[in-house]
Amino acid sequence: MALSARNRLTGTVTSVEKDDIMAEVVVELGGGQEITSTITRGSADRLDLREGDEVAAVIKASEVMIDSE
């Protein structure tokens, strides 16, 4: 990968929901965890995202918080 974003979590799309401008995508990661993403509807359409697709959730390290509770 040539993208600087440090985080790339692979998984399977389990849900894609769209309204006019935004889309919400849920990805099931290994180990029983899942991650939810909001992207533009334009991007969801361009990538033609559908349930069952193998994708990566990509996250810049500066966007990740730690909860030590």
The contact set with a second copy (CB under 8 A) reads 2-10, 17-25, 27, 29-33, 35-40, 42-44, 47-49, 53, 55-69
What is the closest distance, in whole angstroms, from the C-beta atom of residue 28 to a second copy in the complex? 10
What is the closest distance, in whole angstroms, from the C-beta atom of residue 51 to a second copy in the complex? 13
What is the Cα–Cα distance from 49 to 55, expressed in whole angstroms? Answer: 9
Specify whether the backbone of 49 is left (phi greater than 0), alpha (psi in -120 to 50) or beta.
beta
What is the closest distance, in whole angstroms, from the C-beta atom of residue 10 to a second copy in the complex? 7
Nearest to 8 by CA among 22, 23, 21, 27: 27
